[in-house]
Amino acid sequence: MSDTMLACVRKGVDQLAMEQIPIPTIQEPTDVILKVRLAAICGTDVHFLELPIPDITMGHEVVGEIDELGDKVEGYQKGDRVVMSCMLACGKCAACLQGEPSACIGPGGKVQHGLLMHGCQAEYVRVPHAPNSICKIPDSLTDEQAILAGDIFSTGMGVLERVPMRTGDTIAIFALGPLGLCTVKAARALGAGKVIGVDPDPLRRETAEKMGANVTIDPGEGDPVAKIMGETDGFGVDISVEAVGLAENLQAAFKSARIGGAISSLGVYGFATQELPIPLQTGTPVPDAFYHRKFLTTLCPSGHFRLKRLLDLMEYGKLDFSPLWTNSFPLEKTIEGYETFRDHSKKAIKIGIKP
Ligand SMILES: NC(=O)c1ccc[n+]([C@@H]2O[C@H](COP(=O)([O-])OP(=O)(O)OC[C@H]3O[C@@H](n4cnc5c(N)ncnc54)[C@H](O)[C@@H]3O)[C@@H](O)[C@H]2O)c1
Ligand SMILES: [Zn+2]
Ligand SMILES: [Zn+2]
């Protein structure tokens, strides 16, 4: 067998190349090497391209088969089909032991593939801290369902769970990219009342309605905050979610949340952005200010048991994510996949990459 593989490698700011690089090998006894079955392109990959870090393989969303296991990886065998959490966790540090693995402060924790270590848009990928970072996939779930538990469905659930959302809460979601759409699905799965989605792209609004949104708003057709107020009897929503990383959307999310409600931010605002303005006058009824609201940000909740619970929810709750998956590219065409992901005229939402 050859000891090199095809990988989509970042070559500095906004540059990608398909290259042959060495196949990863076990470095630590808690590592596994996955033979990639499905990788995906995330909005965060596009942000990573802003950084001048050369020669790192892209990608942090993956389903693969175990090809090699370290000595301390118990309960798995070669050939097992698994999904990986996109934030790695050591399982031993103070953050992990307190149930916050996404905030891991241990060695090699909170590291993302495709940022500081080689990612999964390749034939093989190394997964450190595997016992805390992977989970076997039940036969009834497809790769396309399971991969979402590793990043965007976990994040979409997490943004509501951290508030925490109550049964029947009214939710507004600013941006209906794959992450916003997974947040729509999460709101439904958690028992939301009215779910309102905001996005300029008609395909994304239509997809949100298929995935459980009751009302969708085109921000190009007038102030979405005024429309959200109209949908909530002038009261505002219980939870407003920022899911793209635009300062004006965060402002609109503040202005749409009722007094006592929550603003929960998921979007990555870009590495050049240092500060975000928060509006003091929200435009909602008395008192007309931002006081007495919760403001949270969320990183993707991760870890073996997080994956297990989300896979169980997908399996027994029969969650349908099929409207998300618009395109699939063979690994050798990953760069075309990125071009399609970034060009909304190509009518693509979530893009799979298959070696
Ligand atoms: N917090 C986390 O752990 C986490 C996890 C995954 C992704 N993200 C971030 O979430 C963001 C979205 O990711 P994605 O994969 O859905 O990307 P995406 O680029 O496909 O989605 C962005 C969406 O924003 C919409 N949009 C653009 N302008 C808008 C506006 N003015 N109002 C409303 N919507 C608007 C676009 O039409 C598109 O649907 C990215 O910033 C990504 O980095 C964060
Ligand atoms: Zn991601
Ligand atoms: Zn840790």
3-class SS string, the chain: CCCEEEEEEEECCCCEEEEEEECCCCCCCCCEEEEEEEEEECHHHHHHCCCCCEEEECCCCEEEEEEEECCCCCCCCCCCEEEECCCCCCCCCHHHHCCCHHHCCCCCCCCCECCCECCCCECEEEECCHHHHEEECCCCCCHHHHHHHHCHHHHHHHHHHCCCCCCCCCEEEECCCHHHHHHHHHHHHCCCCCEEEECCCHHHHHHHHHCCCCEEECHHHCCHHHHHHHHCCCCCEEEEEECCCCHHHHHHHHHHEEEEEEEEECCCCCCCCCCCCCCCCCCCCCCCCCCCCEEEECCCCCCHHHHHHHHHHHHHCCCCCHHHEEEEEEHHHHHHHHHHHHCHHHCCCEEEEEC
Residue 111: Cβ within 10 Å count: 16
Q: How far is the CA of 304 from the centre of ligand 3 (A)?
A: 13
* Cα 266 to averaged position of ligand 2 atoms, centre (Å): 11
Extract the tokens encoding 8: 């989509």
Mutational pocket test of ligand 1: of 47, 152, 179, 249, the residue with most ligand atoms within 8 Å of the beta carbon: 179
Distance 215 CA to ligand 1 centre (A): 19
pLDDT tens figures, 57-109: 999 999 999 999 999 999 999 999 999 999 998 889 999 999 889 889 988 77
Instruction: Give the position, in ligand 1's atom list, of the atom nearest the Cα of 102.
Output: 3
Measured on CA atoms in the order 148, 52, 6, 353, is the torsion positive or negative?
Answer: positive
How far is ligand 3, taken at its centre, from the CA of residue 68, in Å?
23
Task: Verify cis geometry, omega within 30 degrees of 0, for the bond prior to 323.
Answer: no
Q: How far is the CA of 282 from the centre of ligand 1 (A)?
A: 23
pLDDT of residue 206: 98
Give which of 277, 217, 221, 267 is closest to 246, Cα–Cα: 267
The ligand 1 atom at the shortest distance from the C-alpha of residue 219 is 32
Residue of 58, 225, 244 to test ligand 1 pocket, by largest number of atoms within 8 Å of CB = 244
Distance 32 CA to ligand 1 centre (A): 31
Binding pocket residue ranges, ligand 1, CB within 6 Å: 42-44, 47, 151-152, 155, 174-180, 198-201, 204, 219, 243-246, 249, 266-268, 298-300
* Residue 262, beta-bridge partner list: 239, 294
- Ligand number, closest to the Cα atom of 101: 3
What is the model's pLDDT at position 273?
79
d(C-alpha 237, C-alpha 90), whole Å = 37
Report the length, in residues, of the chain. Answer: 355
Could you read off the pLDDT of 20-58 as tens digits, one per residue? 999 999 999 999 999 999 999 999 999 999 888 878 999
pLDDT for 109? 72
Q: Taking ligand 2, which is a single-atom ion, which protein residues have CB atoms under 5 Å away?
A: 42, 44, 151
Cα(26) to ligand 2 centroid in Å equals 24
Question: How would you classify the pairing of strands 350-354 and 325-330?
Answer: parallel
Which ligand 1 atom is at minimum distance from the Cα of 245? 41
Question: In sequence order, what are the residues at sequence separation of 6 or more whose Cβ sits closer than 8 angstroms to the Cβ of residue 67?
Answer: 32, 33, 34, 35, 78, 124
The pLDDT of residue 283: 62
111's CB contacts (< 8 A; 6+ apart) are 88, 117, 128
Nearest CA to ligand 1 atom 20: 177
Dist. CA 49–CA 43, nearest whole Å: 10
Which residues in the chain show pLDDT less than 70? 1, 283-289
Q: Which atom of ligand 1 is nearest to the CA of 252?
A: 32
Between the CA of 21 and the centroid of ligand 1 the distance, in Å, is: 31
Q: Which domains does the chain have, with CATH numbers?
A: 4-151+300-354 (3.90.180.10), 156-297 (3.40.50.720)
Residue 152: predicted pLDDT: 97
